[in-house]
Structure 1
Amino acid sequence: MNDMLSKRGCSLVAGILAVLVAGAALADSAPPADPSPARGSLSEILPGHRGTYLYYHALDYGSQSLTHPLRLIINGGFGIMQISNRDNRPARIMYGRGLRNVSDNLMRPWWAVREQGLGVFLRHEVIPISVRTGDSQYWPNYMNHLLGGGMSYRMMEEYYRYHGHTHSKRWSLATLFVYHLLNETVENNDKLGPNPDPVADFWIFNPAGVWLFNKDSVAQFFSRTLHFTDWSYQPVIMPETGELQNVGQNYAVKWHLNNSGSRSIFYHWGTHAELGMSFTDAEGRCVSFGFGFVAKNILEVDDLSDTVDLAVSGGLFYDRNNSLLASLVAAKGKDFPWRLNLYPGLFDLGPLQPGFYVALDQKDHLSGGITIGAITHLPVGLGWE
């Protein structure tokens, strides 16, 4: 059954991947599109601020109100902790060993590639031709590093520019470097030896994502046509156990089916992938739902490569102007079959602008946490069990 789910899941995401990458290629060769007047669209010009804003609009509600470099680093760097057979206590990660091994592989990329074999490396990590989970390590490379990383770079560049930083691109690159290096270090953890995964991420997909989203035509296509956005979680730390819960970087796209944008094909992903529909009213308020698969466990393919097995997932989402206000996600994943996130601005609860997270674990025990949206430089909230 799990193998069947894995094949179906990989077929689904491979098809979506092909559409998104093809769209990026077409956008790069096409003239810039006119801004879409569809529902949920916001002005790309922010009064008093230079340049255009495709992914950051300084909204004071929803997921976008939590946009911050430190939060991006936490959600992206520790997102692997959502996988079932990974410990979610940051203090237990072997940072020194992980960083040393990642550095060895990045400084000697031919070492890992030669050990695995160039053909296997290309088939597993680069060329999206297989739908077998053992050969589909390319999926997070394209979706999370190429597209997600590229959009995050552009979003951070707009964030820094909005906040008055002169060298906004350099600041964004530095943020992305720290985020990706932490991500690879946490994923590597206690491994020693050749590892082709950071080679593909750092030397192929991360720079390719930055290069793509530096192009206005590509960035405009994903913003105006697919309404690409960051819908990351609200991470919280559990004081008693030291666990980091509700952590992970998530993305969403909506492909409008009519000129008004009232109905859209919806796709939501991170360490999961849900496909469904969105319905948007004239005020930009949108309800979306999707069903798909979530990465459950990391499995060893061979001495050099890992993959994941998949479990069924589904979600219900409410946003305004593409800024997520509430999400309810069900998944047969690690600890929490049910996870509810209520973001700042869903309700008017005073100047602290709190956001809330509540989850039900496998034993029907509740846990949760609170995020203080008004304290923008605090990247994690406080949890309880």
Structure 2
Amino acid sequence: MTNQHPLSRRHFLAGMGASALAIPTLTNAFGQPIQSEAGQPGRKLGVALVGLGSYSKNQLAPALQQTKNCRLAGIVTGTPSKAEEWMKKYDIPKANVYDYKNFEQIADNKDIDVIYVVLPNSMHEEFVVRAAQAGKHVICEKPMAITPKACQNMIDACKKAGKQLAIGYRLHYEPFTQEVMRLGQQKVFGPIKFMESSDGFRIGDPTQWRMKKSMAGGGPLMDVGIYAIQGARYVTGEEPLSVTAQFSPKTEPQKFKDVEETLFWQFQFPSGAVCNSSTSYTAGVERLYASCQDGWFELSPAFGYGPLKGRTSKGPIEKPIVNHQASHMDGVCKDLLDGKQLPAHITGEEGIRDVRLLQAIYRAAETGRKIDLKA
């Protein structure tokens, strides 16, 4: 793992940053051209959502009613009643409705360009690979997968198919987040000395898939803890050198018999910055704070669906409020329409970095040792 974060000043500070990464011809792992979606002015890419749970229902589908570069074109669900409900609500033709068994037939559907995988973490690998083999670009929710090996299989499948893979890092397209990236990476208040990056909430239904290790890969760290990891990385613009971590005692052992309840960890960065983080399924916290040599800045709330709120030692951060999911999907689909390479900070390569860090945090907590991340 390199020390320089892929979301560098050079890549990000031009706003969305995607256009700066355009290259004349994209090639896959075999040197063959990646298929472009360019050439049809005014066209919107058709997006099919795989999995119609709460995130698809409450966030992605409504956001796709606000997007400029893409539209809700299809759905994949194993529940017939959901299919009927969505067809009526969003005027989706029956030909664009699939279940998990006939999913491969989506390859023949010219109305669908992008598959958005919104399933439990353990299912990401299978459906990203199947989507790529069906000849579609893919967006996959975070965390990318449970293991780095699964992430690599997903990356390889998309490269082999000549299709692009994006991870659901919506905050990379959100103005308040972009501003703290700028403040940290450009050292506007001098070098960062100390950070706090934490995200947690009190979870409800104890029977949901997020509470099953086989499906989620872990507890709050795999769910919202990844936001805290991302925050530390994109504010410093660096990759951590080492990590220590600690599980908290379980206050509800029966409820949390399969996953952690609360977890703390500490990153050390090449610049000397230290970040203290926590994530929890029993306590609410949502803060991204950086203390610098000549001042400080923070977002609180920092990671939710918005609106986010920020301030610095010089006053409030004033930025436009946007729909996170619409901005993210529009940004990804604009690059696909233009035939451009997606920016590195939202691709599978970024996703696998986070999964490696998730696994390192668990190892540090389980062993009580500092884990060297430089290898």
TM surpasses 0.5: no
- What TM-score do the two structures reach when normalised by structure 1? 0.30
- What TM-score do the two structures reach when normalised by structure 2? 0.31
